[in-house]
Amino acid sequence: MSNYSKTSVLLCLFWLLASGCAYHPWTAPIEDEDNQKATQLLQALDQKSNFCEQPIDGDISIFYKNLFNKELISGYFQLYYPSSLKFIVTNPFGQTLLAFAVTERRFQLINTFERRYIKGNTYSYGMLHNIPSILTQGTWNEWLRGTVHLPEGDIIDLRNDAKKRGVWITIRRKKRDHTAAKGLTHFLVDPEKTLLLSRILENARGKVVGEIHYGNWKTVSGCAQPYTIRVSGLEYSTEIDLKLSNIAVADDLTEKDFHLKAPAGYVRQIIP
C-alpha cells in the first residue's frame, strides 16, 4: 500500500472515530409520492400504541456490559403506563434480593444484601454509577413495548432502509418526549406488519446517544410485544440485551404498586 493510501485510510479511520457514528442505515429521502404513505404508516403505529396501554408483567433476563463490568440479572418486572417500571430479583425461595421501582424521574431501590433503601433522582443516580443518561430519562413503556407516541406535525424526514427492512421516519424530539434532551429520533418501521424494528436517538448536536432494536414479536392480549430488546450505542460502551417471557396483562396494577416502602432497620439514603 502506498504512503498516500495509508494516509487516506488513517484519516478515514480518524474521522469515523471522531464523528462517533458516520454510518447511517438509511438511503436518500423518500419521494413526495411515497411521503403520504409513510406518514400514514407512522400514524397507524401511533394508533396501535394508544390501544396498547394496559399494565403488563412478566419475567425478564438482563445482560448488561460496559467498560467497567458485566452483569447477568434475572427476575420479573411490572410496567404501568406511561412510565412506571418495577423490577424484582428473588432467590429460589421467592425471597426478594433486589427491588427497583421508577416513576417518571424518581426511583426507589431496596438492596437486601446491604440492608439499604435508596430513593431520589434517577439522573443523579446514573451519574454516580456510570449509567448512561438516556437510560435514566427514558419513557419505559415505549422502550419496553416497542411503541411510539407522536405529537402531530413532528415528522421531518422519511427514508428507505439500506437493507430494505422497512422505512426510516425521523421526528424532532421535544423536551417532553423520550428523554429530557432535545434532538432527533429515527424509527425503522416494517410497513407490512406495522411494527417498530429500531429506534436511534440523537442529541441536539447530532451525536447518536442510543439505539434500541426489537425482535421476536408476539401478541399479548391483542397487542404486539417484542420479547427481545437490544440497546447499544450508549455511553461507556454500554450494551444491554433483554429477554422477556411469560408476559401477561396485569389489570390489577395501580400506581401505588410502584412505591416501595423502606424496610424496618434499613439504612436510608436520599439522592437529590
Task: Determine the 3-state secondary structure of 11 from DSSP.
Answer: helix
Asked if 72 and 245 count as a contact pair (C-beta separation under 8 A), the reply is no
The C-alpha atoms of residue 191 and residue 44 are separated, in whole angstroms, by 10
Q: Phi/psi at 32 (nearest 5 deg)?
A: -55, -30
Query: Of 191, 232, 179, 200, which Cα lies nearest the Cα of 24?
Result: 200
For residue 241, give every residue at least 6 positions away whose Cβ sits within 8 Å of its Cβ, in sequence order, or none: 62, 63, 228, 229, 230, 231
Beta strands at 267-271 and 116-121: parallel, antiparallel or unpaired: parallel
Coil vs helix vs strand at 153: coil
Q: Domain 25-271 belongs to what topology?
A: outer membrane lipoprotein receptor (LolB), chain A (2.50.20)
Query: Can you say how many angstroms the Cα of residue 152 is from the centroid of all Cα atoms in its chain?
Result: 22
pLDDT of the chain along its 272 residues, tens only? 443 333 333 233 233 233 334 468 888 787 665 667 767 887 788 888 888 889 999 999 999 888 888 888 899 999 998 889 999 998 888 888 999 998 877 889 999 999 999 999 887 877 776 666 666 666 788 889 998 876 555 778 888 899 999 989 888 876 644 444 678 889 999 988 989 999 998 888 888 888 999 999 999 999 999 999 999 988 778 899 999 999 999 999 998 999 999 999 999 999 98
First to last CA, the chain: 57
Closest to 88 measured CA to CA, from 109, 96, 226: 96
d(CA 46, CA 210): 21
Output the pLDDT for position 3.
39
Among residues 136, 93, 95, 78, the alpha carbon closest in space to that of 254 is found at: 78
For residue 47, the one-letter residue type is Q
Per-residue pLDDT, 237 = 82
Burial class (CB in 10 A: 0-12, 13-18, 19+), 113: exposed
β-partners of residue 172 are: 184
- Rounded to 10 degrees, the C-alpha dihedral 217/210/202/272 comes to 120
- Per the listing, cell 394496559 goes with 54
User: How many C-beta atoms surround the C-beta of residue 117 within 10 A?
Assistant: 20
Residue 268 DSSP SS3: strand
Instruction: Give me the pLDDT at residue 134, please.
Output: 67
Q: How many CA atoms lie within 13 A of 74 on its CB side?
A: 8
pLDDT reported for residue 15: 30
Rg, Å, the chain Cα set: 20
Q: Give me the pLDDT at residue 44, please.
A: 83
**Which are the contacts of 20, defined by CB distance < 8 A and separation ≥ 6?**
207, 208
